[in-house]
Structure 1
Amino acid sequence: MKKKILFKYILLLFYFIFFQSCNFHDKENNNIKPNLDSLSLWIKNSKNPKNSLIRKRQYLDKSYNFIISNKIDTVNLKKLSDVAYQTFKVKDTFLFKKRNKKVIELALKIKDSFSLGDAHWNYATYYNKIRDFEKSYYHFNEAEKYFKNYKYYVGKMLVGKAFIKGRFSDYIGSEQNIIKAIKIFKELKKDNDLLNSYTSLGVIQSDLKLYDKSLFYYQKALEYSSKVKNNSKLDLNNNIGLIYLKKGNYQKARLFFDKGLDLTLKQDKPLSYARILDNYAYCKLLIRDTLGIKEDFFKALAIRDSLKNKDGILISKIHLAEYYKFSEDTLKAKKYALDANKIANSIKNSRDYLASLKILVSLDEEKSKLYLKDYISYSDSLLNVERNYQNKFARISHDTDEYIEETERLAKQRIWVTLISLSTILIIILFYFLRVQKVKNEKLLLETEQQKSNEQIYLLTLKQQSKLEEEKLKERNRISEELHDGILGRLFGARVGLGFIEINCNEKNKKQYQLFLDELQNVEKEIRDVSHKLSDNFDNAEINFTFIIKQLVIDKSKVGDFKYSIYFDENINWYQIDEVVKVNLYRIIQEVIQNIIKYANATLVSIKFSLKNNNLVLSLSDDGIGFNIKKKKNGIGIKNIKSRVQKLNGICKISSSFNNGVEINIEIPLN
């Protein structure tokens, strides 16, 4: 509790010092009363990439408060619109909407058409970013109306509207808007905007499959790229390469892609480098030159993945699917095609979604009809969607009020659909999780029961073996008694009887007689020795357990091709050791040897049983490859060993290092 209180005081102290330093810095900057120059400086600092996100927001807050607290005129309103846009740039969506709404309210009051157009442009940019193209087009259209006296900005709005129309295959409408914008930019000599406009025209012609016309516009864009200072030439070369790729002129396409494969581009513009590298590899695939293209595909994918460029990742996976299809690796081709299909669906990329379906049709014979059906269905629905959007864009230009009502209704509907979908998904995930847990619990229960059953079977086997040994012992004692009391007694009687018989014969016969008596005596002695050996009792429990262990090691040594040494301390009274302990010791040795065979590549295995302070000690070691205990997590085998030792209230120590084998020491208390 004391530590928590101390920690809170430290946090409060840090908070006080930090914000006091910030306030001091602000006061230092505000010794002179803030003016328009100060405001311009704050806005400039909010755009400085060297400043942190928090610092940028502080500058924007100061700028906003300063503008609101002063008289609103056209100059301040333009700056307020800039503050709202920069708030969007620092990813504060809620505050951006609030401030942009304030701009529109104030602009309507003083009838500032430029600020109204700028505010609608801010909204258009925001909704374009979140892919709400209907609202984005509406605000571009509104901004164009308010910018009617500002030609350059009218051109910018035309380009924005053209982009959205192109997204929904309204290529004619898109082309018309771009051409109108080009006329404005030419009149105003805006080379950078002309470069972008001609590039857009090239893209439109490419989508219309008018490749020669597309090349014409790209060449025009190249002319303007030489007049501006940027890296647009590299992207243009990539686009031109794609046109030659679509025309089937792969060698020429390869030349244009090759121009962009510069290592400096990899550092300065990694996304452009990844795009060119991927297209270059794909071009080589089409001309059946597969040398190094797999590595290039994966390099491009890695860059795009690190930058979370979903559109790029999607293209990379489509190209990888085609590569593995060419390599006749159907499984991998299908995997990447399915990945591409999911990504395209998630980011609503219709073109590449259809492309992924097309690949899947050729890869999966079982589902080809289903994929083909989806392809046709989606293609048809896409045409309907595009027509609907084109009609909506036309209606927006004539009746914005109707559009607002419709989009608000659709927005609410989307919210409900999203909420219902999320709720359904969460319920499904919950049921799935519960099901998985139930299956796991059942599996663990089954394994526990199986383990108990195995131990019971082993105990019964030991008892059966013990009874068998007892019967053997009884039989040996019976034979010993028969030899000693029966046969030996009769032989003794016969020998004694022969000794009393007087034989009157020559010296030679007497010697022969004496030899027979001696031989009978020797036979008696041998029978007596055999009888004594048979009657010697021994610890059958010791023989049972040690025999089973030895037999286990012998059998496993043949499988694992290793030598072994086994030592049993003679002071261990196996008869007094509990059968459960024996069962677990047997299972531990079995598990260790199995691991040695699978992983260790050992040539010698040592097993030793000894006594230490009334503890039974089992030591197992091998001369195998070993492993790093710190790096390698405990596997199921090691967990089972430790679990068995813990169940017997014992201690288990495992030591190993690379190329030094493994040593396991187990101590189990004997009650």
Structure 2
Amino acid sequence: MNGKISKSERNTILNNKAVIYLIKEDYGKAVEILKPLIDLRKSDYEEIDYARIVDNLGYAYFKNNEKEKGYRLLNEALIIRDSLKNDTQLISSFVHLSEFYEDDNLILAKEFAEKALKSAKKTDSPNDKMESLKHLIDLSQPRESKKYFNDYIKINDSMNIINQMSKNQFAKIRYDNNLEIEKNEKLKLEKNLISLIFLGFGIISLLIFFLIRSKNKREKLKIAYTTETRISKRLHDELANDVFNTITFIDTQDLQNPNNKEVILQDLDAIYDKTRNISKQTSEVITGKTFDESLNQLFMSYTSEQVNIMVQGLTSIDWVNVKENKQIEIYRVLNELLVNMKKHSGASLVVIRFESALKNIQIKYSDNGKGFEKEKVFKNGLLNVENRILSIKGKITFDSETNKGVKVNIEFPK
């Protein structure tokens, strides 16, 4: 065998590289990589590989606001894949075309989403089923949307069980492989822990410094002082004891024991999460025309293998015409709800729906967590949520019972 790769292999590698840029939403870079590939002779490809590249380039053009080019290539890829009767590849074409028509032709968008679901059922691919159902939930009427939503939850729950089994198997392999790497573990852990704390304190100190410097009026300085006091209290209450306990554990326990090692790793993860959350909750909120992107980044930061967050209608809101102070308060309120979800409810699924009426904007939050008693609603840190909504002349209602999840309805004037 020689070290050279074939044209087909090279083109596959470049296509995969372009897919990474599509995931990163760098559509211009994806176009730059894929366009030269379709200019080559078709004889350099298998038909199925050529269709994949054409479909990806069409999707990149579409997402890069070159819809005419995008449609032509997406349709070409669909025709090729349909002739090959390849359901796995057809799913991608159907999903991309459904997304293409979402803004202009809801009927066609739904038809393609339904075709994607039908093909996904043939291939029995859980991930493809969930992707198709996501589109159908957004594109369907409430009653039908609820059915698709229930189907999504069933598949998601099954996937969680499979993922947990894989995770447990991986954990066993990791234990077996890490038993030989122990000599300098204790010193490294202490150094990493100290660096992590200094980093957290540094971030918080910088945030406080810029907050105080930028707000020179008396009322704003008072707010900055209140924020500083709250952050300092959180650092003391949430981090100081954890740091001390972890260092004590390191000093007193046998690190050769795999169980002890896992405890330390979990403690470090918890400390890092707390530090990151404090930083995130006090950082500047990017408002204006990209406010929906700020909210998407917030939701993504709480999405994990254990928690799935579904967002509906976010891009339908004209955020440019919503005042900056209202955008900031809505961001803080949603962050508080997600913090409460993560700390208290143990939910695996969160749905956040945005709706725009004539004069008001509505936000409906729900999760499938363990909920809480209505009379104790403000004991989980949600009093601040109500005060923020009242400050923008809005109203908020909580609906929850123990073990029945949480529903929060928010309404405020544009």
Greater helix fraction, Structure 1 or Structure 2: 1
Asked if these proteins are the same fold (TM beyond 0.5), I'd say no
RCO higher in structure (CA 8 A, sep ≥6): 2
Larger Rg: 1
Scaled by the length of structure 2, the TM-score of the pair is 0.39
